[in-house]
A and B are shown apart, each in its own frame.
Chain A
């Protein structure tokens, strides 16, 4: 086993721990912090089912963004849908046999990388072209887009330009999952791709990528509009009430 392989095995275990642990901690933090007042943005659903539908529309179709700005919606949706298909396609590297759904998505997943890259390019262009968006962009906003584009380009490069040893890569990836380690092909493009993915995983829980778990906890979107029928009282507010009584 080469030191290169050992390094990447270590990197991916660390990245996975940071990603899973970090996101889990954030979710714990969000769920532990109460929303003391009923603040859905109205008109809002009056039932839990309605809220689940609202959240589904928000997460799958980006409903609010669609209302807001068609350019951001098109680019953002292209990127996210592209990414979802690409990620789903990648599941094949971690399982044997491969699920039907993953097989099914394989041809779409390959070309979805173009949608992903086009969406990212559009979003990045806005950071330069629209004065309002330029004003609010931080260095990390640009770096995040650069990182995602580099991941997309290196990945698409291996699919469409310079194929890597995909059989060996799958053995490596499966080995990570089963703790039966195999060597990683020393292919430049692959190493770049994997390193950047690891970086993305590590920074996920400490960056704006927290919008992904965050949206599910957004009180303006996940609360039921029923304050006259149900008394909503946060634990600290209930304690306050007891103290004052």
Chain B
């Protein structure tokens, strides 16, 4: 591998707030999407002649449909509270990576076309015309945001830059500036059933191979069923779990948990993806179309419970949006919702996170562990942004922090948390979320990982930590790639259910 064409930041004891360096990341432009995927998604693939009208028009529609965008564009007072909160700013020093400045790219245009002072005195309020140059800036900087919501925790009005980034990307798509990575994934998931474009027969083959491996390891016939009608549990997991390392180790962990619990479960070919990149692009309809595959699979297979594997943004969509988008959940009184509710098991939250499921079994004494099998590991846990700040596990607020840690403590003896201001709701994104997990953005990914790497480094040095436990497919792929840039072994990365898999006692 050729060395990076950029300077990798050096690790420091604490992440320091850099002096701003204008234009430091202005050169970084994610690859543009081509005709095939853009047309499939109903977008143009190059700038149409009337692009400006289209963009302003779309912005107006978004303002009418999303209260978040309308309120957030009005409410900011430029207080500066968010300016040192974004990992991309901390890692790159580019002022446009400060959340407020990222929002300002759109706010300037909003003011110019939608507010009175911006129309009559643009210079006074910092309103600016939408130009092609500005559009390019949008493209660059709305693809240097992982939509992790850290800024929204610290904003006195709760302004969430993720909402602005999503709106920005939707407008960009609408004028033909789609991002290749996300655009192609959104086509693959709808055409094939998963983000990787892994067809059904290949998936069946992979699962069979894994079953053989598990049998060789344990001597037990642990299954990974596919498309089994009438199975109690439908497992929806990120497709990376099927063949990426270390993801697959967690998949094995889920299978062992289901085996130990003695339940019937199945994966689905048609819905072989938990991820939903529709979230990243802020298009409600696309997100709904992608999520609808899971409802359809659940109805087709007759599942009673829907459980979601380790994936951050997928859990956000599942937990917070599935009920809205597809009626997977409770409380809906309409026939559409009722149709599915009649089939689902009333005793459980729908959907359920795999960690909620496993923790419940642990509490009920169903699962037994030999914790010493994890004794070679000193483990820390990285709170994934979307799980931490956009979802929940269990009945209590903050269960998303407690439950994964409880599981780790139940299956291993050595656990250390990273510094307080880098975990929980203050967690730093891995740097690869929100549609940024692509090689053309590697510079932002590496630099954006700096705050997390500093925090990780501190427990590596202080406590001898050698295992970074994760519950997100994107985090796993991102850290596997980025850790070596900072001098760590990529083998330190793994899943929470990988730890479960190591320690679980089966018979």
Contacts and interface: CB of A to CB of B under 8 A. Distances in A.
Interface of A: 26, 29-30, 33-39, 41-46, 58, 62, 64-65, 67-69, 72, 76, 123, 126, 130-133, 135-141, 143, 203, 206-208, 210-211, 214-215, 217-221, 225, 227-234, 236-237, 240-241, 245
Contacts of A30: 67, 70-71
A31 B290 CA distance: 29
A36, A44, A135 interface centre (most CB from chain B within 10 Å) = A135
Interface of B: 17, 19-20, 22, 63-68, 70-72, 74-85, 95, 98, 100-101, 104, 115-117, 123-126, 149, 152-160, 163, 284-285, 288, 319-321, 323-324, 327, 329-334, 336-337, 349-351, 388-392, 395, 397-398, 400-401, 425
A99 B157 CA distance: 32
A41 B153 contact: yes
Contacts, number: 227
Contacts of B104: 136
A232 B67 CA distance: 14
B392 A43 contact: yes
Given A69-B81, A227-B329, A39 B64 contact: no
Contact of B80 (A26, A44, A69, A215): A69
Question: Would you list the 9 A-B pairs with minimal beta carbon distance, nearest first?
Answer: A214-B75, A231-B332, A68-B154, A43-B397, A220-B158, A138-B126, A133-B80, A132-B83, A221-B158
Given A34-B67, A208-B76, A228-B349, A237 B324 contact: yes
A215 B329 contact: no
Nearest to A33: B67
12 contacts: A38-B324, A44-B397, A68-B82, A72-B81, A136-B95, A139-B124, A140-B124, A214-B75, A215-B156, A227-B329, A230-B331, A237-B284
Interface residue SS majority, chain A: helix
Given A39-B320, A136-B83, A219-B67, 16 more contacts: A35-B67, A38-B321, A38-B324, A42-B389, A43-B392, A65-B154, A72-B80, A132-B80, A135-B20, A136-B101, A140-B124, A141-B77, A210-B75, A211-B76, A219-B68, A227-B319
Contacts of A46: 395, 397
A214 B74 contact: yes
Contact of A240 (B22, B285, B350, B391): B285
Contacts of B159: 218, 220
A219 B67 CA distance: 7
B246 to A, nearest CB: 27
Given A219-B71, A231-B323, A231-B331, A42 B392 contact: yes
A139 B124 CA distance: 6
Given A68-B85, A140-B126, A207-B117, A35 B66 contact: yes
